[in-house]
Structure 1
């Protein structure tokens, strides 16, 4: 089983169990979206010593936790899974704990670091021209683009920022749009 050097930040113990089914790794559990200072301090130390991968659920509370930690601990990597990969086989809820070991390994392999001072390579106009903001179906297109680029789902305002922060090149963006068009053509 692959050993992950970084410490993985997850929301709860069920996520830790799912991570340990997929890889050999240590985790820090936030125990929900009310991330307290003790958890932030623990993540800060983990980042300094071994590095951190934030791997929260693909929902609003998961994004809130991700943002809170990223604001206070710089240099963390981010791993994302698509909502459809985080759904339970039966019952309710959405979360990392429902993802397959293969999905978890792929997300961790594709973890990216954000760059807060990244320069604009892809403009708001590029996003509008691509039908990713301000038009019918743009929400679905953003969700699919987030899966292709492995940057998670965002609203229209956040997409531009996330593309910059993850340093997505114009070439990567164009290639992802081409893949998106192909998928839409086969849908």
Structure 2
């Protein structure tokens, strides 16, 4: 067996092990009839209801990566980034309700990175080319939600952790400035 084949086989085996334990630990009983809430065992995975810490979360990340890699155009990729950013925002809200502050802040950071990638794609549009106003306003709306949430949760953190939130706020404000420049060009 070649080294490449051995590596491929080990990754495949690792994937099956993750899938096995994920399905085993899920709350869905595969022998029961599916209900309206759970039409299939992995329904929660693709609906975005899986939170960090759940074994299925890794599969959700893999499916997200696959969707990004198969996006046909930069516009489709930008919209996918915005969709992911919204999903991360809602995940962070759920984590905040559960008082999981560190997971919430890292989830907010990932969501802001997704918005940043969408803004980067929009910045790549030539100045004389028309910008997609729906996408720009979606970016603006998402960033406003992030800003309010970051300001709301900042007092909940210790001083050392607030530095991270200050960095997130600074990054969010720079993204907001870029989006406002797009809006002013309309």
Query: Would you call these one fold, judging by a TM-score over 0.5?
Result: no
For normalisation by structure 2, the TM-score amounts to 0.28
Structure-1-length-normalised TM-score: 0.28
Name whichever structure is richer in strand by fraction. 1
